[in-house]
């Protein structure tokens, strides 16, 4: 049975998966700058005898082909790291100071390399093609997924399905979490500039205080979420950067703010943009100031196609065991994998990487983030099994 062969191969490859992950973890690179990462992946694909083509700068499109006939399934891993100083001291600690694979993309790449080798070894046992997408720049707008799609990774032919996975430290190694429909939120970047008239802090009547205006704007905008949004539609509005470059006795001319708006419903997303801008501009004008409210539209809502996700869930239960496949809760983080779902049937699930018995492990994007590397063969084998099941090849 192919299922048992896949399991054996995944376990056999575990040491090389760990080695790949640690090599990639040591040399993380920021979005759109993944040159060394890309070179390493290309060299590993060459070693495996898997043909590849460069796409979207540092991105890679590779294919494992079985016997003639059959369909095409696409599998995706992202490549970039984050501007975070790693706090832990593992032997494979980042050598690029201030850059860290704190979101697990090193594990995604290593796992997909493992999937690639499993499929290559089994290429005589299936019909069709498995397309491997190593995608740059998931962490930074405008993201690499849309660029990869523009460069044809979902063309000639269009795949029947695109599958992706993401590490999840809150879920124990050996488990996955999955759900049909909306899984992850849209994400927009907000840049707000409040202009007033600065001066001496002891003479506020002679000034137009942009700090006070900014404070009113921040508080008032929360009503967009708490009072204007449908309470059944998850929404988040947060400002994480506020700069008022005055002093204890100096009211500045300008305050700048940056934040994020996220939701699970595209129609409300567009409406909220209008409401936020109108509210902020109105408040500033009413207080004698001016407001410039810019919105950089980011990734859309990530929606798992219903029938595909149901089929992937069945495959995961067969491969891992029914008790190791749990329901995912909607997550207000965002992912540019969502763009693949706009062009083809897509399914994205969460791969458990937490150590057994560890309560409240360091989260994604934490300087202490790490994984249970036992998740690597789980992810590699599961993706191979799902791909071959979608091609109708597993017996």
User: 395 lies in a domain?
Assistant: no
- Residue 80 is among the residues annotated as catalytic for this protein: yes
> Are 42 and 72 members of one domain?
yes
User: 251 lies in a domain?
Assistant: yes
> Are 137 and 30 members of one domain?
yes
Q: Which of 297, 325, 354 is the last residue of a domain?
A: 297
pTM of the model: 0.94
- Provide the domain count of the chain: 2
- Give SS3 for 324: helix
Q: Which of 297, 321, 340 is the last residue of a domain?
A: 297
CATH for 82: 3.40.630.10
Spell out the per-residue pLDDT of the chain, length 395, in tens: 889 999 999 999 999 999 999 999 999 999 999 999 999 999 999 999 999 999 999 999 999 999 998 999 999 999 999 999 999 899 999 999 999 999 999 999 999 999 999 999 999 999 999 999 999 999 999 999 999 999 999 999 999 999 999 999 999 999 999 999 999 999 999 999 999 999 999 999 999 999 999 999 999 999 999 999 999 999 999 999 999 999 999 999 999 999 999 999 999 999 999 999 999 999 999 999 999 999 999 999 999 999 999 999 999 999 999 999 999 999 999 999 999 999 999 999 999 999 999 989 999 999 999 999 999 999 999 999 999 999 987 55
User: 289 lies in a domain?
Assistant: yes
Q: Which of 297, 328, 356 is the last residue of a domain?
A: 297
CA distance 157 to 238: 41
Q: Which has the closest alpha carbon to 103: 154, 30, 158?
A: 30
CATH for 272: 3.30.70.360
pLDDT of residue 1: 82
> Are 6 and 118 members of one domain?
yes
- Give SS3 for 222: helix
- Residue 97 is among the residues annotated as catalytic for this protein: no
pLDDT of residue 394: 57
- Give SS3 for 152: coil
Q: Which has the closest alpha carbon to 302: 143, 193, 191, 194?
A: 143
* Residue-range definition of the domain harbouring residue 286: 188-297
- Catalytic annotation, pick one of 34, 106, 138, 172: 138
User: 105 lies in a domain?
Assistant: yes
The pairing of strands 188-195 and 290-297 is antiparallel
- Catalytic annotation, pick one of 29, 34, 80, 335: 80
């Amino acid at each position: 049975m192919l299922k048992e062969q896949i399991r054996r191969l995944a376990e056999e490859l575990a040491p090389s998966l760990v080695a790949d992950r640690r090599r990639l973890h040591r040399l993380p690179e920021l979005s759109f700058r993944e040159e060394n990462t890309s070179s390493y992946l290309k060299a590993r694909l060459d070693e495996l005898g898997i043909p590849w083509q460069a796409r979207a700068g540092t991105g890679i499109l590779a294919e494992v082909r079985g016997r003639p006939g059959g369909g095409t399934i696409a599998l995706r891993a992202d490549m970039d790291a984050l501007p975070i100083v790693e706090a832990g001291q593992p032997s494979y600690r980042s050598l690029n100071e201030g850059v860290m694979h704190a979101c697990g993309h090193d594990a995604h790449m290593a796992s997909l390399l493992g999937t690639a080798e499993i499929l290559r070894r089994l290429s005589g046992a299936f019909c069709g093609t498995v397309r491997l997408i190593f995608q740059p720049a998931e962490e930074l707008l405008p993201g690499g997924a849309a660029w990869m799609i523009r460069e044809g990774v979902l063309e000639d032919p269009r795949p029947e399905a695109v599958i992706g996975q993401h590490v999840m430290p809150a879920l124990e190694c050996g488990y996955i979490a999955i759900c049909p429909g909306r899984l992850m939120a849209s994400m927009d970047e907000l840049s707000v500039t409040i202009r007033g008239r600065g001066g001496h802090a002891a003479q506020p009547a002679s000034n137009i205080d942009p700090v006070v205006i900014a404070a009113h704007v921040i508080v008032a905008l929360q009503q967009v979420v708490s009072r204007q949004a449908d309470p059944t539609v998850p929404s988040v509005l947060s400002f994480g950067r506020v700069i008022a470059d005055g002093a204890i006795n100096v009211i500045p001319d300008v305050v700048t703010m940056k934040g994020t708006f996220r939701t699970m419903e595209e129609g409300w997303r567009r409406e909220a943009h209008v409401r936020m801008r109108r509210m902020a501009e109105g408040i500033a004008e009413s207080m004698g100031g001016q407001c410039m409210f810019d919105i950089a539209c980011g990734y859309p809502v990530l929606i798992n196609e219903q029938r595909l996700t149901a089929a992937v869930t069945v495959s995961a239960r067969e491969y891992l065991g029914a008790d190791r496949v749990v329901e995912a809760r909607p997550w207000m983080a965002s992912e540019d994998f969502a763009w693949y779902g706009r062009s083809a049937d897509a399914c994205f699930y969460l791969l458990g990487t937490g150590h057994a018995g560890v309560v409240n492990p360091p989260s994604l994007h934490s300087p202490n983030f790490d994984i249970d590397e036992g998740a690597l063969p789980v992810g590699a084998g599961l993706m191979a099994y799902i791909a071959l099941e979608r091609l109708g090849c597993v017996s």
